[in-house]
Structure 1
Amino acid sequence: MLISPALPLSQQVVLITGASRGLGACLTRTFLAEGACVAVNYLKSREAAQTVVAQAPERALAIQTDVRDPDAVRAMFNAVQAHFGRPVTTLINNALSDFSFNGDARPTADTLNWENLDQQLQGTARSALNTIQAALPGMRQQGTGRIINIGTNLFQNPVVPYHDYTAAKAALLSLTRTLSNDLGPDGITVNMLSGGLLRTTDASAATPEAVFDLIAANTPLRRVTTPEEFADAALFFASPWSRAVTGQNLVVDGGLVKN
């Protein structure tokens, strides 16, 4: 029976997609603070990515890649391994197609079209499939790996029906569960972290203040979760302490949704 070696965070190479801004930038700062090496993937926000890397330039690398492109993703993983001298140990699928959490501007049941859904599926499920497949050779070589997919609590509590966004994240949750079964024998865990509305990221900047107040009033902790609090939970799934946890969806929203 294979028992995967548990790497301390300070010995890890972490690749975070969509890591230049918002939650991704916060995840990067959190892992850098623990001594990890971090590859900061971005698509358009080069200056923002460089700003994040400047926190620990000797342990961080900004790398531009469209994660919807499988060839580009494989090249990215090769470049990260060449830069740090070892393969990626933890992959965090955080990239999000252009999306604004503004309920007044969302497509409704009458206006939703396949293009809306396809855009989110490409940016969420397809990109995760690309990155996971590119990560597997290095993780198998090491006999261990951590894959963390970023989800949403809107499956359980669709307070605002973001149909396209939620459907894509639901597909990612399904992949999380099925891939955990496939990859467990390789010592690779696959888990999901699902948040609610975070105060505040680029994506939630358009959310009316009244919505934040409503969520806070209905949350046991009586406040909206911050990106920093959410990122703390990612450390658990990447750390040695989660070595027997896989196929799980941990909701980090202050108790609003009971998973």
Structure 2
Amino acid sequence: MPEKTCLYEKLLPNGLRVVPDRFATFLADVGWAHYVFYDRIKHQKVDELYHVGDSHTTTFGGYEASAEILHTLGIDTDNFQPAWSIKPVTSFDLFEPGETCPELSERAISNAPALEITTNGLTNRGCVTRIVNPYGAPCRVLIFGDSFASLHLCYGISLHVSEVVFTHAAGFDYEMIERYQPDYIIGEIAERFLIESPTEGVSLASIVQGKLADDMLSAAEMNQFADTYEHFENLYGPAMNLVLTQIQAKLVR
């Protein structure tokens, strides 16, 4: 996913410019990665993809990104055509706490089918969300990525396929892939995170155990993780059993 400042150069500090030949565009040019919105960026046709108050995409931008990815994978998107309405924007991660935020709005999908959405409740790394669409094409998509995927991209993809599982991780959990046996695997990374090398083969259990050891899980997160454990047990694998035991012990203290 492209960095917002690569679309809107005016957001950069004075004197800084977007370099067209950067690492992300190199990956796209040599065919090693799909750079979402690449053609739009080159032609500066980027209106409504990102809203003013947040670094992530709008709902419309996320849906457009999902449609672009599905077309790349050869998945038909004709089974659902969105109808758009207007809603207020409530996310303002580009503003400081207490700073006055402008009144903004964005497009929202008004005819989405009823989806079954379950999440393990963890914030960022270690979060797992499953979205089931009984009206989608019969295929399962497993996505590893960051918050740029978890907000609107996964939702857009789930409008077209029967099941999407999103794991917030910087790399692929090979054991999860073997357990889930998806039809398609998507690895998403925001351009801003290309400074870090993806972690290859790191298990979800090790990510959650690391957050637990560093006291990075709130009581609410641990409770929801425990409450939804049975729903995700087939994805987690046996290594997560020890993590669950440690979380349950921490909750009763």
- Give the structure-1-normalised TM-score: 0.27
| Higher gyration radius (CA) | 2
